[in-house]
A and B are shown apart, each in its own frame.
Chain A
Amino acid sequence: MSGIPAAAPSSVLSRRFPPVAELTTVSLGLVVIGGILMASYAPRRPPLGAPVAITVASAVLLLASAYLTSRVRPFAWDRFFLVFRWALLAYVISAGMIGFAFVKDHVRGAPLAVVFVMLVIFALDVPLIIAFTVARYSSPAGYDGSLPDVSQPA
């Protein structure tokens, strides 16, 4: 066991990435806003125009983040998937509990469908942010040289 060693100029730290965490955090913020809009009408039936528009925008950002993540090479994919699957398990349980509360409170039909899609996005957003953050600061397995700038798609 040793102490924390000196910080040499770190190729992991200086390497630039596409704004995956930022986009996914905005996506998360949008579903939170949508959730607040829906919850503020409870127990009445909420108007769905704004929540649906927000959900679509959030889904687009999540998909864009997933696409940008898939293009990163080289990347610590082993670390990414290790963290992603455990975080996904945790946040599926969280989202399931929130969904359960809405079902229990007799939310039905289109509002329930919108809530369900928001919860799916929520349950994917958080693991993606956590896994990407962990993986971006990890060296890709078997990669020893300097790491390329991947902030711009190839």
Chain B
Amino acid sequence: MTDVGNIQAGAVGTAPVAARPTIQVVPLKGLPIVAVVVAFVIASIAGNWLWALTFCHVVGGGLWTAIDLFVGLIVGPILGRLSLAARAEFTARFMPKMVLLMPTLVLMTLAAGFQLALKLGNLSPASPNHAWLVVSFCVVGVMAVIALGVLEPANIAVLFEMRKPNPDGAVIATLMRRFVLTAGVTGVMQVATLIIMTRVATL
């Protein structure tokens, strides 16, 4: 999310006054969809169904990686060139959806992936994939700490700030700087994931 947060505090105040959308930090309409996805993942693990586990892992992982790279490499730089009012409006509509979407995709990918690895014997020390999978755990671990410890708190704090009658542009800019600082690491980790997973699938 390279330039999503490039809202400069001082400049924000000079932006043309625009109507701000009402912000719902967690979009409640999306919760039933999340519940269905989580139930499906639990059922897949409980039933140890190869197709369902593969579906959850491949679909979840593909979307997670693609969204991360697309937002960081394509949406972010475009957003950085928009007017401040447009950026604020986009962020207000975009970030609540990410609050639900990304944790759901991550949960779907990791839970199904671990079960799939066990079922296929890829975690066995005798498997040629074992080392690759341990490396992938490390890559996911780095991404998890960045996402859960740095980005998600900033995302939610920004949404709370934007809900205020008079949001503080300096607070938003400070929080959004985290996305810029971690974008490079996240991008490298996602590319590493693509390399590891294609290796695992072809060994």
Contacts and interface: CB of A to CB of B under 8 A. Distances in A.
Interface stretch (A1-9, A51-59, A113-121, A146-154): A1-9
Q: Which of B9, B133, B173 has the most CB of A within 10 A?
A: B9
Contacts of B166: 2, 5
Contacts of B145: 25, 28-29, 32
Contact of B167 (A4, A8, A24, A132): A4
Nearest to A102: B114
Interface in A38-57: 39-40, 42-44
Interface in A112-135: 125-126, 129-130, 132-134
Interface of A: 1-10, 12-13, 21, 24-25, 28-29, 32-33, 35-36, 39-40, 42-44, 79, 83, 86, 90, 93-94, 97-98, 100-101, 104-105, 125-126, 129-130, 132-134, 137-138
Interface in B149-168: 149-150, 152-154, 156-157, 160-162, 165-168
A129 B10 contact: no
A86 B156 CA distance: 12
B12 interface: yes
Looking at chain B's contact residues, the main secondary structure is helix
A118 to B, nearest CB: 13
A12 B168 contact: yes
Contacts of A21: 149, 153
Contacts, number: 145
12 contacts: A2-B165, A3-B15, A3-B88, A24-B149, A28-B148, A29-B145, A32-B144, A39-B114, A40-B123, A44-B125, A129-B153, A130-B152
Contacts of A137: 157, 160-161, 168, 171, 175
Contact of B153 (A10, A12, A104, A133): A133
Q: Which of A4, A9, A40, A97 has the most CB of B within 10 A?
A: A4
A10 B63 CA distance: 38
B162 to A, nearest CB: 8
A133 B150 CA distance: 9
